Amino acid sequence: MKNINPASWSFSLDQVHTYAYCKIFSSEECKKIIQIANNKGLIKGVTSGESDVRSSKVSWLYHTDDLEWVFKKLTDVILDMNKKYFQFDIFGLIEGLQFTNYKAPSDKYGKHIDRRYKGVIRKLSLSVQLTDPKEYEGGDLLLYESELGTPMEKEQGTLVLFPSYILHEVKPITKGERNSLVAWVSGKQFR
């Protein structure tokens, strides 16, 4: 084991990645998810904090919304990616899926983390890009390890998975509209 500081003694080095991503859904599957969410209806997205942090519409989706196939795919990919990149003790998507629609000229979701004090223990956050990036401008998902955010992959059907305590945001959309699927993977208390 290599010590970072000659005066320190670390038990082990951090093996948790900041994020991981992979292609999960085809263009046709993304369109089907968008259609199901739109048919269910959209409501204003809200936060528990400042009201000007978020501007978007959402729909809450569950496996009973003819989306069992989505939950099965997500489960397989999440378990595999967690094993490779995070190794968290996780047990499910107990809050359902949040379909989010951002429209120009300025829908966004400012900097935030997905952890909530005295709430469900969220260990991993995921975002699936449902819209072809040629159909909109802006709306980048950025993760922050420093002052400069890292833009995430935008290919349609791509899932980005990251620890829920990572600061992130969706920049304002400037043209068109962007749809995404967001969820939080729950688990036992961090130790």
| pLDDT, tens digit, 9 for 90 and up, residues 113-130 | 998 888 899 999 999 999
Is the four-CA dihedral 63, 67, 68, 71 of positive or negative sign?
Answer: negative
pLDDT digits (tens, 9 = 90+) for 10-34: 788 788 999 999 999 999 999 999 9
E-strand spans in 46-172? 54-55, 57-61, 90-92, 97-103, 108-112, 122-129, 136-138, 141-144, 149-151, 158-163, 167-170
Q: What is the Cα–Cα distance from 62 to 95, expressed in whole angstroms?
A: 9
Q: Which residue has the tokens 């989306």?
A: 67
Instruction: Give me the CATH code for the 20-46+53-167+178-187 domain, please.
Output: 2.60.120.620
H or E element, residue 34:
helix 27-40
Task: Give dist(CA 172, CA 166) in Å, integer.
Answer: 19
Question: 185, 122 in Cβ contact below 8 A?
Answer: yes
* 3-class DSSP state of 53: helix
Closest CA to 173 of 142, 145, 136, 135: 136
- Is the sign of the CA dihedral 144, 53, 152, 100 positive or negative? positive
* Sequence letter at residue 159: L
Query: Rounded to an integer, what distance in angstroms lies between the CA atom of residue 148 and that of residue 10?
Result: 28
Averaged pLDDT, 50-60: 86
Segment 65-113, tens digit of pLDDT: 999 999 999 999 999 999 999 999 999 999 999 999 999 999 999 999 9
